[in-house]
A and B are shown apart, each in its own frame.
Chain A
């Protein structure tokens, strides 16, 4: 049982490049989310999803796209990377409607945009 798997763990991009951060979970969780973590800013919600085919914007969605074609996968796309997107990105999942459950987080992707 792998939990939430994020790839890659580290990435360096040049300004203007595009890329996709991968997130997969094998727990059949309905809910999935993407957060970014910046020093002094805590975790900020980028996009989230309640199930396949359904996504919604969080606090800081600009510059990012998501899709949810399957329950397992929730990729985050950076369309044209900017230095302001340098951050640590976390993907998380949890089952719907389970009392006392929190999100299970992946180990993070550290992204640097130069």
Chain B
């Protein structure tokens, strides 16, 4: 069975600090996709990234970076120089590559960036 664990329920950091959100996944599949979504206070869900299990290269997009480590089944998300606008709930998610229509989400991490 597939499972996504986000052990950090809630994190608070002061603006401009770096912060890492942890994501650990379980799957029996050898090929799969990993995702991160952002849900700001307005409530909509915003897609951030999708990572193929074959590609273990780290990804960087502006202040956001993702560290995928197959050996530890982790797909962590780091925000560098955090800003108040980064305050949101962040979800990690997983899908089987062959059934990538079915995406399973973790419970989310609520991130507070304090001014």
Contacts and interface: CB of A to CB of B under 8 A. Distances in A.
A28 to B, nearest CB: 15
A48 B54 CA distance: 25
A44 interface: yes
A12 interface: no
Interface in A1-53: 31, 33, 35, 40-45, 48-50
A100 B36 CA distance: 11
Given A101-B50, A107-B43, A40 B35 contact: no
B43 A108 contact: yes
Contacts, number: 57
Interface residues of A, number: 28
Contacts of B44: 105, 107-108
A44 to B, nearest CB: 7
A90 interface: yes
Contact of A102 (B50, B52, B102): B50
B107 A33 contact: no
Given A100-B50, A101-B50, A102-B35, A42 B45 contact: no
A42 B106 CA distance: 6
B19 interface: no
Interface residues of B, number: 22
A48 B107 contact: no
Contacts of A45: 102-105
Interface of A: 31, 33, 35, 40-45, 48-50, 56, 58-59, 88, 90, 92, 96, 99-105, 107-108
27 contacts: A35-B105, A40-B9, A41-B107, A42-B6, A42-B91, A42-B105, A42-B107, A43-B45, A44-B105, A45-B103, A45-B105, A48-B101, A50-B101, A59-B104, A99-B50, A100-B50, A101-B50, A102-B37, A102-B49, A102-B50, A103-B45, A103-B47, A103-B103, A104-B47, A105-B44, A105-B45, A108-B43
